[in-house]
Amino acid sequence: MELLPVAQINENLSKLSDWNLEDNGKSIVKNFEFENFREAVNFINKVAEIAEQENHHPDMVLHDYNQLEIKLTTHSAHGLTKKDFDVALKIDELEK
Protein backbone atom coordinates (compact mmCIF):
# COMPACT_ATOMS: atom_id res chain seq x y z
CA MET A 1 0.00 0.00 0.00
CA GLU A 2 1.35 3.39 -1.03
CA LEU A 3 1.75 6.32 1.38
CA LEU A 4 -0.28 9.38 0.50
CA PRO A 5 1.44 12.70 -0.22
CA VAL A 6 0.74 15.59 2.18
CA ALA A 7 -1.56 17.35 -0.31
CA GLN A 8 -3.72 14.22 -0.65
CA ILE A 9 -3.80 13.72 3.12
CA ASN A 10 -5.04 17.30 3.60
CA GLU A 11 -7.65 16.91 0.86
CA ASN A 12 -8.92 13.65 2.38
CA LEU A 13 -8.99 15.19 5.88
CA SER A 14 -11.23 17.97 4.60
CA LYS A 15 -13.84 15.33 3.66
CA LEU A 16 -13.93 13.91 7.19
CA SER A 17 -15.68 15.14 10.31
CA ASP A 18 -13.42 16.06 13.27
CA TRP A 19 -10.45 13.82 12.42
CA ASN A 20 -7.01 15.21 13.23
CA LEU A 21 -3.48 14.38 12.19
CA GLU A 22 -1.20 12.90 14.85
CA ASP A 23 2.17 11.19 15.09
CA ASN A 24 3.87 13.69 12.78
CA GLY A 25 1.25 13.13 10.09
CA LYS A 26 1.42 9.34 10.23
CA SER A 27 -2.05 8.77 11.69
CA ILE A 28 -5.50 10.28 11.96
CA VAL A 29 -7.44 10.36 15.22
CA LYS A 30 -11.01 11.09 16.23
CA ASN A 31 -12.54 11.26 19.71
CA PHE A 32 -16.12 10.31 20.44
CA GLU A 33 -18.34 10.83 23.47
CA PHE A 34 -21.40 8.69 24.15
CA GLU A 35 -24.27 8.91 26.59
CA ASN A 36 -23.18 5.75 28.40
CA PHE A 37 -20.93 2.70 28.35
CA ARG A 38 -23.38 0.55 26.39
CA GLU A 39 -23.58 3.06 23.52
CA ALA A 40 -19.80 3.28 23.40
CA VAL A 41 -19.41 -0.49 23.22
CA ASN A 42 -22.14 -0.78 20.59
CA PHE A 43 -20.28 1.78 18.47
CA ILE A 44 -17.00 -0.14 18.93
CA ASN A 45 -18.75 -3.26 17.66
CA LYS A 46 -19.97 -1.41 14.56
CA VAL A 47 -16.44 -0.13 13.91
CA ALA A 48 -15.15 -3.68 14.34
CA GLU A 49 -17.51 -4.85 11.58
CA ILE A 50 -16.17 -2.16 9.24
CA ALA A 51 -12.60 -3.09 10.16
CA GLU A 52 -13.22 -6.74 9.38
CA GLN A 53 -14.94 -5.96 6.07
CA GLU A 54 -12.09 -3.66 5.02
CA ASN A 55 -9.35 -5.82 6.56
CA HIS A 56 -7.97 -2.65 8.11
CA HIS A 57 -8.06 -2.36 11.89
CA PRO A 58 -7.88 0.87 13.88
CA ASP A 59 -6.52 1.29 17.36
CA MET A 60 -9.42 1.98 19.72
CA VAL A 61 -9.25 3.13 23.33
CA LEU A 62 -12.36 3.30 25.52
CA HIS A 63 -11.85 5.33 28.68
CA ASP A 64 -13.90 7.10 31.32
CA TYR A 65 -16.77 4.70 30.46
CA ASN A 66 -18.08 6.78 27.52
CA GLN A 67 -15.03 8.27 25.77
CA LEU A 68 -13.63 6.55 22.69
CA GLU A 69 -10.52 7.39 20.71
CA ILE A 70 -10.06 5.83 17.27
CA LYS A 71 -6.69 6.04 15.54
CA LEU A 72 -6.03 4.95 11.96
CA THR A 73 -2.68 4.34 10.30
CA THR A 74 -1.32 1.73 7.94
CA HIS A 75 1.27 0.00 10.08
CA SER A 76 2.86 -1.88 7.18
CA ALA A 77 3.38 1.39 5.25
CA HIS A 78 4.42 3.38 8.36
CA GLY A 79 1.91 6.14 7.65
CA LEU A 80 -1.35 7.11 6.00
CA THR A 81 -2.76 5.40 2.94
CA LYS A 82 -6.05 5.50 1.06
CA LYS A 83 -7.29 2.64 3.24
CA ASP A 84 -7.14 4.79 6.38
CA PHE A 85 -9.38 7.43 4.85
CA ASP A 86 -11.77 4.84 3.39
CA VAL A 87 -12.29 3.37 6.86
CA ALA A 88 -12.57 6.82 8.49
CA LEU A 89 -15.32 7.78 6.02
CA LYS A 90 -17.25 4.63 6.88
CA ILE A 91 -16.86 5.35 10.60
CA ASP A 92 -18.16 8.88 10.03
CA GLU A 93 -21.23 7.42 8.30
CA LEU A 94 -22.08 5.49 11.48
CA GLU A 95 -22.82 8.80 13.20
CA LYS A 96 -25.50 9.79 10.69
User: pLDDT (tens digit, 9 = 90+) per residue, 64-82?
Assistant: 999 999 999 999 999 999 9
Residue 37 lies in a domain: yes
Q: What is the CATH number of the domain that holds 47?
A: 3.30.1360.20
Q: What is the pLDDT of residues 17-65, one digit of tens each?
A: 999 999 999 999 999 999 999 999 999 999 999 999 999 999 999 999 9
Residue 28 lies in a domain: yes
Of residues 26 and 96, the one with the higher pLDDT is: 26
75: how many CB neighbours lie within 10 A of its CB?
A: 11
What integer pLDDT is reported at residue 57 of this predicted model? Answer: 98
- Whether the per-residue pLDDT at 5 is higher than 90: the answer is yes
**Orientation angle between helical segments 37-54 and 82-94, nearest 10 degrees:** 140
| Cβ contact 74:83 at 8 Å | yes
Residue 1 lies in a domain: no
Q: Which domain holds residue 25?
A: 6-94
Strand extents, DSSP E, the chain = 20-22, 27-33, 59-63, 67-72
Residue 71 lies in a domain: yes
Residue 88 lies in a domain: yes
Q: Report the number of distinct structural domains present in the chain.
A: 1
